[in-house]
Amino acid sequence: LTASAYKPLAAYFVKFLQAYKERGIPLYAITPQNEPFNPVETYPGMSFSALDEASFITNYLGPALKNATLAPKILIYDQNWDRPDYPLEILNDPTAQRYVSGTAWHCYAGDPSMMTKIHQAYPSKDMYVTECSTGQGGIAPLSAIEFFLRSTQHWAKAVVLWNIALDISGGPKIGEGCGGCTGLVAIDQATGQFTYTDNYYHLGHLSKFVVPGAYHIASTITRASFPYDSPPEEVAFQNPDGSKVVIVYNPSSWSDTFKIRWNTHHSFVYTLPSKGIVTFKWAGKLPSPLITTMWGRKDHTSWFRLIRWFLSLLALAASLFSIPQHRDPSPLNHRFTFRGESFSAQARSPPAL
């Protein structure tokens, strides 16, 4: 982008935001450029160096938004975890930094731990993962549940999947668009049939139980006696009403038995099948958590199938409530000798989701 185009681009952002606001849609955040290292020719894209983005934000975008009394969050970078040098270069500029609310990331390369490194350097700047296409046919090296758990464990305030609904070829697209990107719902436009993808069910493990205003709370995993090197992955949250949510994923090829403990004296044991996902939710100080599982992937193309699916869930829920639970006065950091994992929730104050 030539320097002479910076001012018109900033004015375009202002008009864009104003148009949405006039229609009752105030936009939460913007990024100056999608994937600045990816100047593709098959859909809109552009190279934008960190130095140039910092200059654009400092001298044009930030002042233009302020003069128009618009206050969307400005998120920098908007590409993969493998180039933390890009957001760091902008955040190291004190003039640009004052306009920046956080960093936007994509999931296609690198490791989510990079977000923790940026957070440690600039704890007041939030992390958002603004794009990830996972699941069968997706282009990310992670499954959706791995993406959710690892991102939120590394300070992501929000995670966004590509896309809500697409046709069976991944469209509609601008030009060639994204090859291999998948949606939560796949729609066959010829027949009108639709299918919920794996991503739909993976997302439900968080979005159905972790509500707006929730906080990510610290959780620890204690390695016990395992015959393999793939322990469960987990993340914990506290909702505004005080309820706790723990999501656990078993990446191994074996079933795992583990214990979840909280409040120093409440605990229960659960066995999770290979590749299984489970969400536990309990309210306040209730000693018995509400246990919810979402295992399968189904195609709800008729009321009959929907009713059958609902009845199956009722039967599953009835069986889950028979899981034995007990109190254990052992301290939170106690190492259990049974085969499995131990989780303990301890409060901290990371950013709200």
DSSP string, 76-87: EEEEETT-THHH
Residue with tokens 């999501």: 247
> Which residues, 6+ apart, have CB-to-CB distance to 49 below 8 Å?
36
The residues that bridge with 219 in the sheet, in sequence order, are 345
| Strands 156-159 and 277-282, bridge-based pairing | unpaired
Please identify which of the residues 89, 131, 146, 234 carries the catalytic annotation. 131
What is the C-alpha separation between 259 and 341, in angstroms, rounded?
A: 6
To the query of whether residue 35 is one of the catalytic residues in this protein, the response is: yes
| Strands 256-262 and 244-249, bridge-based pairing | unpaired
For residue 56, the SS3 value is helix
Round the CA-based radius of gyration of the chain to a whole number and report it.
23
Residue with tokens 């990024």: 31
**Could you tell me which of 307, 206, 201 has the C-alpha nearest to residue 247?**
206
Q: What angle do CA 181, 277, 216 make, to 5 degrees?
A: 85
What is the C-alpha separation between 63 and 60, in angstroms, rounded?
A: 6
ω into 172 cis (within 30 of 0)? yes
Please identify which of the residues 35, 53, 146, 233 carries the catalytic annotation. 35
> Which residues, 6+ apart, have CB-to-CB distance to 248 below 8 Å?
232, 233, 234, 258, 260, 270, 272, 277, 278, 280, 343
To the query of whether residue 146 is one of the catalytic residues in this protein, the response is: no
ω into 163 cis (within 30 of 0)? yes
Contact 159, 135 (CB under 8 A): no
Catalytic center residues: 35, 131
